[in-house]
Amino acid sequence: MNPITWRQEHQVALVIGVLLGIVLALAVGFMYDGIHYATLNRWNIGSIFRWGILGAFAGACVIYIQGLLRAS
């Protein structure tokens, strides 16, 4: 199950899953960290980056596991 050898539509689904994971995790991170639009100048970039990476990993895992389940 090498994602590089997947068909193009599965690779696109993986990228979309990663992007949706990033967006959802950033939304959760903003709610969890108490960041509001009024405090734009005080955002912690490290925290935002960590939430984005976590979401990308979660989105990629969901698509990868779905591919594994379909292959078996």
pLDDT digits (tens, 9 = 90+) for 25-40: 888 877 776 655 555 5
Q: Look at the chain and report how many structural domains it folds into.
A: 1
Q: What is the DSSP letter of 1?
A: -
CA 7 to chain centre: 21
Question: 26 in a domain, yes or no?
Answer: yes
Question: 50 in a domain, yes or no?
Answer: yes
Q: Which residue, among 13, 25, 12, has the nearest Cα to 56 in the 3D structure? A: 25
Domain that holds residue 48: 7-71
Specify which of 7-11, 16-20, 40-44, 45-49 reaches the highest per-range mean pLDDT: 16-20
CA triple 48-49-53, angle to 5 deg: 120
Question: 1 in a domain, yes or no?
Answer: no
Question: 34 in a domain, yes or no?
Answer: yes
Q: Residue 19 and residue 31: Cα distance in Å, rounded?
A: 19
Share of the chain above pLDDT 90, in %: 24
Question: 53 in a domain, yes or no?
Answer: yes
